[in-house]
Amino acid sequence: MTLEWEKLFAGRVSGMSASEIRELLKLIDRPEIISFAGGIPDADHFPSAAIARAYEKVFQSNTGAGGALQYTISEGYTPLRDWLCGYMDRKGVKIAPDEVLITSGSQQALDFLGKLLIGPGDLVAVTKPTYLGALQAFSPYEPTYVSIAMDEEGPVLADLEAALARKPKFLYLVPDFQNPNGTTVSPARREAIVDLCTKAGVPVIEDAAYAELRYEGDFLPSLAAIDAARNGGVPSQVIHCGSFSKTMVPALRVGWVSGPKDVIQRLVLMKQAADLHTSTINQIVLHDVVSEIFDSHVKRLRTVYKERRDTMLAALEEFMPAGVTWTKPQGGMFVWIELPEGLCGTELLARAIKESNVAFVPGAAFFPDRSGRNTIRLSFSATKPERIREGIRRLADLLVRVSA
């Protein structure tokens, strides 16, 4: 007799299913496909030589690589946490090493924060759209979402106030060049969000995954920095998640979460339970690399990605038919397209792969309420400029055919 596994699975996993989009995107691994789907950094610009040198250094050190290959503390490699304290300090947030936890990518921090804060039925406030991976991290803890509409300055304040009045457990936000829609929260809106959340006693989870990738304009204070400025320089209301995946490489799987000590202490216990610690050798290597080249490497990435963003925006301007609108991100990896009412992003993807050899991600997946049917996300970071122009031309041609 075969076991009926479905009946054994806990109720909380019922919402976790492979999506039809994932099935479609399996088809895009062909060289003729121009993919705007990924949302990943360009591997040609990884700091591979610096990483190789750092690994060699570990193995050639006097003490041998023993320590680097050993278990370590759950909090994370101390010199890396010290480096992060300096980094956060430069951004206006004073944290001590015990107010930061190294995680296996910032994705793990989102999972831990869900585990720490969400009980079944608890309300969680998110923007619509929001980062799909955050919904995937939170949903197994069985929240109910209250979603806040966005305009070009970020979350709409009237919606935020209405959401806060319902006392959500927290607000989750990606303030810089949001995945998926590229929006950056304006300085005034940042202040207002921290104000309103402080008054309502609702914590904010700030996801700063893309904050370093700014291609124009001034860097804006993080919500953590605004919160800290009101609280003698230390965080009180805002839990800040950061990642080295977009600035260095994703494969080392190193991210971090910083915030009030009480929160971090609990998260350390979760880290112990989940995987004991993030890879010792990867943390050592990453520390070596960021100490050496963080600023220069990120500067180079900004030049590379800016050209791609500019190419995509220019091609959209040149080729897109009337009725299609898009965001103009100041940084990050994403442009968000709104198709004419009545068109469906998922149906368009199926045709785009088949007829035009172009791929992207339909927008509905980024809405907890599955609205946003007529939106799509394009990523420009991992595609060379010539291919970006050609891909947008093909997509625009398809849209002309579809709308005819």
Ligand X SMILES: Cc1ncc(COP(=O)(O)O)c(C=O)c1O
* Contact set with ligand X (CB under 6 A): 39, 105-107, 131, 133, 174, 179, 207, 209, 243, 245, 250, 255
Least spacing, CB of residue 267 vs ligand X, in Å: 15
Residues for the chain: how many in total? 404
Q: Which is nearer to ligand X, 174 or 202 (CB)?
A: 174
Indicate the residue among 367 and 389 with the shorter CB distance to ligand X.
367
Alpha carbon separation from 335 to 175, 309, 326 (Å, rounded) = 15, 8, 7
Q: With respect to ligand X, which residue has the nearer C-beta, 179 or 279?
A: 179
DSSP element (H, E) containing 337: strand 334-338
Distance in angstroms (rounded) separating the CA atoms of residues 199 and 163: 13
Pick the closer one to ligand X by CB: 250 or 321: 250
Q: How crowded is the C-beta side of 117, counted as CA atoms within 13 Å? A: 27
CB of 282 to ligand X, least distance (A): 13
| Residues 182, 193: Cα–Cα separation, whole Å | 19
Q: Is 327 exposed, middle or buried (0-12, 13-18, 19+ CB in 10 A)?
A: buried
Integer angstrom CA distances of residue 304 from 251, 382, 383: 20, 10, 11
Tell me the residue number closest to ligand X, measured at CB.
Answer: 105
**CB 51 within 8 Å of CB 249:** yes
What span, in angstroms and rounded, lies between the C-alpha atoms of 217 and 80?
29
- Nearest to ligand X of 138, 200 (CB atom): 138
Supply the minimum distance, in Å, between the C-beta of residue 79 and ligand X. 20
Q: Counting runs of H as helices and runs of E as strands, what totals does the chain give?
A: 13, 14
Minimum CB separation of residue 342 from ligand X in Å reads 29
Least separation in angstroms between CB 40 and ligand X = 8
Whichever of 197 and 241 has its CB closer to ligand X, that residue is 241
Instruction: Please compute, for residue 371, the number of CA atoms within 13 A of its CA located in the half-sphere on the CB side.
Output: 9
Among residues 136, 84, 35, which one has the least CA distance to residue 356? 35
Closest CA to 175 of 217, 205, 203, 139: 205
Q: How far is the CB of 180 from ligand X (least distance, A)?
A: 8
Is the CB of 35 or the CB of 243 nearer to ligand X? 243
Please, what is the minimum distance in Å from the beta carbon of residue 251 to ligand X? 9
Instruction: CB nearer to ligand X: give 174 or 225.
Output: 174
Give the nearest distance from C-beta 136 to ligand X in angstroms. 10
Kindly give the pairing relationship between strand 171-173 and strand 204-207. Answer: parallel
Residue 393 backbone phi and psi in degrees, to 5? -60, -45
Comparing CB distances to ligand X, the nearer of 332 and 356 is 332
Helix or strand (DSSP H, E) at 18: none
Q: Shortest approach of ligand X to residue 174 CB, angstroms?
A: 5
